Amino acid sequence: MEKNIIAVIDPQMRKQIEEEIAGFTFTKNFRSPSAEEWYVFLPNYQDPITGGAAGKVIIHYNLFDTKEIFINTTIIFDDPVLHHSSLHQLVYAIADELVNRLVGYADTLLSVHSGENSYNAEYKN
């Protein structure tokens, strides 16, 4: 018997995810030969102190080990609203899209820092 996997997501959350991903922007803040730092701006979230970027992405390229090359990516969300577990699907979707756009298809070790929504993942091609 074949089992179908059905993604269950609240229609309101799906709409919110689509809105945030469609409207988010990012800008490079810093670049060195081995790292990049990007600010992430979301339509409905922001840093509560500065009113600016809701988070940042730090991409560190492992230039020394050529046997198994991974890109280490850290995403830090500064808006405390994104730290609530009720927004886990949103945080996951935004982080996934950021990895796709900024890192591409490279093997990546991801660390997301967002309060209760923090997690680690591995993207392997």
Strand order in the sheet with 35-41: 25-32, 35-41, 55-61, 71-77, 108-113, 119-123
CB 40 within 8 A of CB 53: yes
What's the average model confidence in pLDDT over 65-92?
Answer: 89
pLDDT digits (tens, 9 = 90+) for 25-42: 999 988 888 899 999 999
pLDDT confidence band for 43 (50 / 70 / 90):
very high
pLDDT at 68 over 80: no
For the chain, give every domain's residue range.
11-123
Token readout for 24 is: 């988010």
21-58 CB burial, b ≥16 within 10 A, e <16: beebebeeeeeeeeebebbbbbeebbbeeeeebbbbbb
pLDDT at 31: 84
pLDDT at 11 over 60: yes
What's the average model confidence in pLDDT over 82-106?
Answer: 93
pLDDT confidence band for 65 (50 / 70 / 90):
low
pLDDT at 104: 85
